[in-house]
Amino acid sequence: MTDFKELAPTPSLHVDAAIVRRNIQRMADYASAHNMQLRPHTKTHKSRQIGRWQMDGGACGLTVAKVGEAEVMADVCNDLLMAYPTVDEYRCQRVARLAQRVTMRVALDSELAAENLDRAATAIGAQIGVLIDVDLGYGRTGLQTDDQAVRLGQFVDCCGGLRLDGILTYTGHISGPAEKQAVGFDRVHSRLEQLLAQWQRAGLCQDIVSGGSTPSALQCHLAACFTEIRPGTYVYNDMNTVRGGYCTLDDCAARVHATVISSTVAGQVVLDAGSKTLTSDLCGPAPDSGYGMIVEYPQARVFRLTEEHAQVDVSRCTFPPVLGQRVTIVPNHVCVCVNMQSNFWCHDGADATELLPVDARGLLV
C-alpha cells in the first residue's frame, strides 16, 4: 500500500479492505449474538462492492436512503429497505418498478405517502412492503403517538399494493457511554412495548421492528424489541465514531490522502483537501477538534477549510509536514466525505489495489 500511495494522485479517498471486513464481521457477530438481523445502511459507502461484502458477511438485506441507491444496490441484494418516505409520485413510481425485481420495503409516516405508493404499485401490479416510521425521541420524521402509528398501520393494511411488515424507528438521539445509552434504550423499550401491545391488539403485522444507528448499534439489544438493526457508518468509521468512543482510530477504514501544497505562512501548512473533499461537517462529539484528523500529525489541527484548501495549524508539531509531503486524514463524517468522491482506491492486501466507483453517488431522488 505504501508504494501505491505514492502513485495515487491527491486528494483521494482510500479504503482498507481488511478493516472493512473486520468492521462488517464485528457488527454481524453482535447482531447474531442478540438474535437480530443486520441490514446495513449503504449511504455510507454507496458502493456495490462494499454492499456485496456486507451481504456475504451475513446481512439480511441492505438499507438505502434514495431510490437511486436502491437501484444500484439491487444489483447485489434482493431485499432492500428504503428508510425514507416516498411522498412524491416520481419516487413512488421508481420504487414500484424496483419492487417488480426485488423485495422492496419503504418506511413512511403519512397517509399521503401510503396512497401515492399504493397507486404506483397497483398501477403495475407490484407489491411494496411498508414499515411505519415512529419517532421515539429523535424528532425528525416518524409518527408521534401510538394511536397515529396504529391508524396508519391500519390504513396501509387496507392498501392492495402495499404489505404492512412492521415498524421502523431511528435511534440517532441515543449516543454517549454505555450507561447513558442504557437509560435511552430503557425509554425506547417502554415506548415500543406499549406500541407493540396496541399494534397486536389491532391485529397488525410486526414481523419487522427495525432500529439502530452506528453510535447506538452495539447497545440495540437493550431495546429488546428490535428484529433488525440498520447501522451505516460502522463499515468505515470516522472521527465522529472515534471521538464518540464507539471505536478506535485503527477501525477507521476510509482515509483521505492529501499533499502539502503551500507552507508560506508561519506555523501553518496548506493541504489540497478542502470542503469539496472533506466537507464542512464538524465532529459531533468534539466540534472544536477541526475538520478531520491528520493521522501522522495528531498535534496538528485542520482549523479552516475553503473549497480546495485545508489550512492546518502545525505550531504544536515538533517536526511539521513539509511542502510536497503526503498525509492521511480521517474525516469527521465519512458518509458525506465519501459522497464527495466519484471513486475510491480500495486496498486489499499488498498487491491488490483497485480504483472503484462510488456507484450510488449523486443520483436523482
By the rule CB under 8 A, 233 interacts with a copy of itself: no
Count residues binding a copy of itself (CB under 8 A).
62
By the rule CB under 8 A, 287 interacts with a copy of itself: no
By the rule CB under 8 A, 364 interacts with a copy of itself: yes
Contact by Cβ (8 Å): 64, 81? yes
Which among 47-55, 96-104, 143-151, 196-204 is the span making contact with a copy of itself, rule CB under 8 A?
143-151
Neighbouring C-alpha atoms within 13 Å toward the C-beta of 115: 3
Residue 177 CB coordination number (10 Å): 10
Taking the C-alpha atoms of residue 292 and residue 305, their distance in angstroms, rounded to an integer, is 10
By the rule CB under 8 A, 315 interacts with a copy of itself: no
Among 159, 222, 270, 360, binds a copy of itself (CB under 8 A): 270
Contact by Cβ (8 Å): 72, 48? yes
Which residue's C-alpha cell is 482510530? Answer: 249
Taking the C-alpha atoms of residue 181 and residue 177, their distance in angstroms, rounded to an integer, is 6
By the rule CB under 8 A, 241 interacts with a copy of itself: no
Among 253, 279, 312, 329, binds a copy of itself (CB under 8 A): 279
99 phi and psi angles, rounded to 5 deg: -65, -15
Residues 176-205 that bind a copy of itself (CB under 8 A): none
Output 6 or 179, the one with its CB closest to a copy of itself. Answer: 6
Contact by Cβ (8 Å): 99, 121? yes
Residues 38-97 that bind a copy of itself (CB under 8 A): 43, 65-66, 84-85, 87-88, 90-91
By the rule CB under 8 A, 9 interacts with a copy of itself: yes
By the rule CB under 8 A, 276 interacts with a copy of itself: yes
By the rule CB under 8 A, 309 interacts with a copy of itself: yes
DSSP string over 283-319: PTT-TTS-SSEETT-TT-EEEEE-SS-EEEE-TT-SS
By the rule CB under 8 A, 306 interacts with a copy of itself: yes
Sheet holding 162-168, edge to edge: 37-38, 228-229, 208-211, 162-168, 128-133, 103-108, 79-82, 62-64
Residue ranges in contact with a copy of itself by CB under 8 A: 9-12, 43, 65-66, 84-85, 87-88, 90-91, 109-110, 112-113, 133, 135, 139-144, 148, 172, 259-265, 268, 270, 272, 275-276, 279-282, 306-309, 311, 323-324, 335-336, 339-343, 361-365
